[in-house]
Amino acid sequence: MLMWWDPMYFVFIAPALVLMFWAQGRVRSAYARGMKIDAKLSGAAAARYILDQEGCQDVGIEETHGMLSDHYDPRQRVLRLSHDIFHSRSATAVGIAAHEAGHALQHAHNYAPLVVRNVAVPAARFGPWAAVALVILGVVMGRPELLVIGLCCYGALVVFQIINLPVEFDASNRAKRILTEYQIVDQEGAVAVRKVLNAAGWTYVAATLQSLLTLLYYAYILFGGGGDD
Return the active site residues. 100
| Cα angle value 65/126/198 (rounded, 5°) | 50
Whole-number Cα distances in Å, 36 to 57, 64, 99, 163, 193 = 30, 22, 19, 34, 12
